[in-house]
Amino acid sequence: MTTDHVFAALASPARRRLLRLLLDEGAQPAGRLAVRFDMSRPSVSEHLKVLKDAGLVAEARKGRERHYRLEAGPLMEISEWLTPYERFWRERLSALSSLLDEMDDLDPDDQRDARGPDGSDDLNGRNGEQPHV
């Protein structure tokens, strides 16, 4: 149930789809989930096991069925991991949108070069020095 497990579990499209099904349709027995997949039932069962080990689903025995339900908690770890990058992509987005705004202000047929005066790349996207260790 570590962060590693969660990231690894999400690496599989089949497993992400399982989570989505549980989110959209609520808890379900393994078999009902399995028939949706173009894959053998035991394989789906193993994917469920990976999700369970990552803490992303929980099972409850109901008679001879086992109902799996979504356990979204561990996804918070992904969200938290993502947080520090958010600022970064927002900067890029706002840079892009202001660039588009500028272009709107010009004659639509008279744009040629939106780069800086020196034509350089600004590798860091912030035009400043970096630690470099």
Partner DNA sequence: TTGATATGTAGGAAATTTCCTACATATAGT
Partner DNA sequence: ACTATATGTAGGAAATTTCCTACATATCAA
Nearer Cβ to DNA (83/124): 124
Residue 45 binding partner per list a copy of itself, DNA, none, with a CB distance cut-off of 5 to 8 Å that depends on partner kind: DNA
Distance of CA 12 to the CA centre of its chain: 12
Nearer to a copy of itself, 16 or 45 (CB): 16
63 touches, from DNA, a copy of itself, none (C-beta below 5 to 8 Å by class): DNA
Shortest Å, Cβ 76 to a copy of itself: 6
Q: Which residues bind a copy of itself (CB under 8 A)?
A: 4, 7-8, 10-11, 13, 16, 19-20, 23-28, 32, 60, 67, 69-70, 72-73, 75-76, 78-79, 81-82, 84-86, 88-89, 92, 121, 123-125, 130-133
Spatial separation of the C-alpha atoms in residues 102 and 118, rounded to whole Å: 19
Cα–Cα nearest to 51, from 2, 10, 82, 3: 10
In the list DNA, a copy of itself, none, the entry touching 21 (Cβ below 5 to 8 angstroms by class) is: none
Q: Is the Cα torsion angle 51, 54, 55, 60 positive or negative in sign?
A: positive
